[in-house]
Amino acid sequence: MTMNLDKRLGIALLLFAAMPVWAQEGHQSESTRIDQTRLEQSNQQAAEAWGLNQQEYRRYESIMEGPRGTWSPNLDPLTALGLEARSQAERQKYAEKLVETERARVEAELAFQRAYDDAWQRLYPNDMPVNSFTTKGGEDATQSVFGSHPSASSERLNIVVATEGCSQCEATVKRLLSTGAAMDIWVVDSNGDDDRIRSWAAEMGISPARVRAGTITLNHGGSLNVDSSDLPRVASRG
C-alpha cells in the first residue's frame, strides 16, 4: 500500500511538472489571491475592532513601519494615528476615539473584577483572595507599582516583597500592618502559587478580614522586573 501511495505521489508530481507553464502560474496566482483575500479580511476585522476604516488601518500599518514603530513598538492604532496626525482635527478625532475605547475597556474590566470578587466570596468565603490575573503585566505593572514615593499622608501603598530570603520584607510589612495602612502587596517569588502567598500572609499576621474588605490585596508579582537585593520596595499609589 505504501508503494502504491508513493507511486501515486510520484505520478502527481510528474504531471504537475509536465503542466504548461501558464497552468502552473495560474495555480500559483490562485493561491496568492486566496492569501491576499485572507489578509484583507484580517485587516478589515482589525480595523473594525478599533472603529477605523481600511484606509485608516493601512495608514496605521504604514506608520508602524517607519520610525514610530521603532520608538513605540506594539502601539495601538488610535494612539499611533493620533501621534502622527496631520491636522489638529485629526488629532482630536483619534483622541476622542481612544477615550471612548479606554472607557469601554475599563468598564468591562471592572465588571469582570466585580464578578470575580463575588464568585470568590461565594465559593471560598473563608480563604484570603489572591489576585492571580492582571490585565496589564510586565513594564506597565512595574510603572503602576513604582509610580511615586510614599508621603507622610495615609495614602494606599504598593509593597513589593519576597517570601524567602528577605527578613526586611517581613519587618516592613509587620510595621505597616501595625499602622493600619491600606496596601497592595506584590509577591515576586510566589511562582503563581496562591497557597504560598496565603501561608506567608498568615505568618505576617495579615487578617483575612482586611483582605476580603479590600484594604489589603495580595498579588502575584512575578512579572515585575525587580532585583531581590532591592526588596522590600514601598511606594505610594499616588
State pLDDT tens for residues 61-91.
999 999 998 988 888 999 999 999 999 999 9
Per the structure, the count of domains in the chain is 1
Report if residue 41 sits inside a domain. no
B/e letters for 91-128, b = 16+ CB within 10 Å, e = fewer, are eebbeebbeebeeeeeeeeeeeeeeeeeeeeeeeeeeb
Reading the block at residue 113, the C-alpha cell is: 473584577
Report pLDDT for 136. Answer: 41
Cβ contacts of 136 within 8 Å, gap of 6 or more:
144
Report if residue 13 sits inside a domain. no
C-alpha 218, offset from chain centre = 19
Report if residue 95 sits inside a domain. no
Report if residue 42 sits inside a domain. no
Task: Give the number of other Cβ atoms within 10 Å of residue 201's Cβ.
Answer: 22
Report if residue 220 sits inside a domain. yes
Structural domain containing residue 148: 130-236
CATH value at residue 172: 3.40.30
Report if residue 187 sits inside a domain. yes
Q: Which residues of the chain have pLDDT under 50?
A: 1-3, 22, 133-153
Instruction: Tell me how far apart the alpha carbons of residues 53 and 44 are, in angstroms, rounded to a whole number.
Output: 8
Report if residue 59 sits inside a domain. no
Report if residue 147 sits inside a domain. yes
